[in-house]
Structure 1
């Protein structure tokens, strides 16, 4: 049995806050509050089957007058409401906010006015198939294109600073991005030199059901995926893919990532990071979701292993050759939290200790008897490297054991340094300031 451990660290408010470790770090929504710090380490993992796997979906209720909770010294305000399936947020260099309304197949453009209040709300583009990721290209103050990653392809729209409506139909950049069903979210970022386009593609399954097994080790698996060969329906999935900006030169950047929903580039290092949904079905406290830097050529274990060389018992003995090839992710998050969008804080509106930290949106669990997630977390960095700790930053979306009013998805830093958060059940966007 894991032994709970308590440590004391200095929080952003310069007060000593407990760091929850061991069993205490897992907890449930009832223990969530702004400022709570957690540290989940690979050695803290529960055993498969230590608790039974539970289907416990949340029932969404009307928000009413409820608002999120933020740490002392911060303020949260409703920025926009009435959106439909509001998911990824991206901020243009001029400050306009672009929102993917995934279900209706739209991209919206929001412009803020005085005091950070919403001034205009326009449909930039429509008729897309489950749009999710949005990226401006090239990097810098004068992008010429808006790229959108949909469930099956990547398209781009001509863009001039200040455009609130697309001026032309989209060009197809990448076709046949993924096949079959399963995870449909595709995020997209460009490397700092604007030479490579990275696209995340989630798995079509939980642990590769029906996937088959290619011959050879991970190297052969990678070659098979890179060539687009068909060996079951997971070819080219559970990975981060690399292209040039024209959609050519397709390569595998990293593999074995079950569902990298949120992609972001860390400004200090230029490395891509993933906010990842891990697998379900092994009990309340397995497997931790994670937020991690993504190294080129790395393999993160899915579906055969998790969090290092821990073998999934449902695939016992299937790939012993891969056991010592698994990269351990940087920051482990409460299991089944459904970690989605992420961003790095580079604004000046928050206190200086937030500079360079990451934020991630936790959509919330369905495969856990004690509900968790449904919040925004702050991932602590020191000299550009993660400490492994993360902090509950925005909570309050859960009403009771069975009901929630909001599920965070998108997260971005506004031009004025405020933190923007979308949630897709109520169709709202929130603005957090200090």
Structure 2
């Protein structure tokens, strides 16, 4: 990896106020919304529709992994006017999902270190008053959830790449008091390994996202015995077979791990899940497939509808057939659910959090923040930022807006790759990024 920051890149990162835009900027749509990192800045607004997607292979597929460099001294995320970011911690091996305990403690999945960290911040500050390793010896932990939902959870659930486990929890615990109890075993872990979890508001359902084992089901194997038509009669709509059966799905269980069922299929890699407070709906952010060109297909965020099929691997964003599976599943044409919010291709959304805090301006309430990690499969990189999804009366408008940018320094260098977003008890927004292993606290006003 490249670890040298150029002077030009440093100047770009430090110019925190130079590119701030107000919310009255024009809404970019269609091809005008196909920007890259150079056009990204707080306040830039985009609206993409299914018909805006270019045809497959309109551009040649790229291999363009980001060269991660050291964070320049003083570099911070660029934010809209009135917002500021303070560093909570740095030098963490692989901070991914962050979730907030009812008492305000920040639980952070340090995935490659196979542990979960805890940070207790001093009141009104980004400075940790206490920090600890809650649990070690895990297997690429990612999703974290407290059970039962509410003020007095008794368990912390953690999604490993290959299982879901839980630890007893009492308010304020900084270290696990017992060994993990396995709740869901034998979760397939190859290829896409980021398993997220969430509980329904009533606490009766545990949701688990399981990403695909490949880009477009290259290893699915021979068609089922008796043919696809016979297979489809006994399976959820759009369920894959072979090595991909039970993958690219959102699954549901009782809190004890029993009573497994399938909620929705065809979600290639739902790396982030949350429940919308206003409606109780489950939401996913999804990494779509690679190698169809710079701007195809769009990534997305969506409310997950029971029994819905979202296309993978045969279709994408509605009835757009993947040319690599041409004619394979005509029975699914017209049965693909179109996602709610479309985002630029190869942005790599990894986590989502709805804002219901009291620190940000009132018009942020009910909106959602999504962390875009950035992808290798684009000629000029995009993503590497946090965006705000706009909602009105609990429903998405389809529009999204750049909120935190400045992580890219040049065409070849990035210092930050956003992963986790969460709303702290005091209304601050907590961001993690795994390029330099940092955690940030974002607040509004003085």
TM-score (norm 1): 0.94
The within-5 A match list for 1:8-407 is: 15-65=23-73, 66-116=75-125, 117-178=127-188, 181-212=190-221, 213-214=223-224, 215-216=228-229, 218=232, 220-222=234-236, 231-407=241-417
Contact 1:200 1:239 in 2 (8 A): yes
CA distance in 2 between counterparts of 1:376 and 1:393 reads 6
User: For 1:207-262, what per-residue CA distance to the aligned partner results, in whole angstroms no more than 9, with x for missing partners?
Assistant: 1102134422755442896xxxx942111100000000000000001000000000
CA distance in 1 between counterparts of 2:405 and 2:319 reads 33
Are 2:436 and 1:429 equivalent residues in the alignment? no
User: For 1:322-377, what per-residue CA distance to the aligned partner results, in whole angstroms no more than 9, with x for missing partners?
Assistant: 01110000001110000001100010100110001010000002100010000000
CA distance in 2 between counterparts of 1:206 and 1:426 reads 27
Cα displacement (A) at 1:13:
9.0
- Tell which deviates more after alignment, 12-21 or 343-352: 12-21
User: For 1:275-330, what per-residue CA distance to the aligned partner results, in whole angstroms no more than 9, with x for missing partners?
Assistant: 11000000001111101110111000000000000000000000010011100000
Gaps of 5+ in 1: 1-11
CA distance in 2 between counterparts of 1:159 and 1:200 reads 23
Contact 2:299 2:342 in 1 (8 A): yes
* 2:421 paired residue number: 411
Contact 1:218 1:322 in 2 (8 A): no
Contact 1:18 1:37 in 2 (8 A): yes
Contact 1:224 1:235 in 2 (8 A): no
User: For 1:378-404, what per-residue CA distance to the aligned partner results, in whole angstroms no more than 9, with x for missing partners?
Assistant: 000000000000000000000100100
CA distance in 2 between counterparts of 1:219 and 1:409 reads 38
Cα displacement (A) at 1:80:
1.2
Contact 1:337 1:374 in 2 (8 A): yes
Gaps of 5+ in 2: 1-19
CA distance in 1 between counterparts of 2:21 and 2:42 reads 11
Give the root-mean-square deviation of aligned CA atoms: 1.5
Cα displacement (A) at 1:114:
3.0
Q: What SS does the corresponding residue of 2:61 show, helix, strand or coil?
A: coil
Provide closer, same or farther for how the CA distance between residues 266 and 169 of structure 1 changes in structure 2, counting only shifts above 3 A.
Answer: same
Contact 2:238 2:332 in 1 (8 A): no
Cα displacement (A) at 1:14:
7.4
Contact 2:238 2:309 in 1 (8 A): no
Q: What SS does the corresponding residue of 2:409 show, helix, strand or coil?
A: coil
* 2:10 paired residue number: none
Provide closer, same or farther for how the CA distance between residues 36 and 410 of structure 1 changes in structure 2, counting only shifts above 3 A.
Answer: same
Over 6 Å off, 4+ runs: none
CA distance in 2 between counterparts of 1:127 and 1:29 reads 37
CA distance in 2 between counterparts of 1:255 and 1:218 reads 13
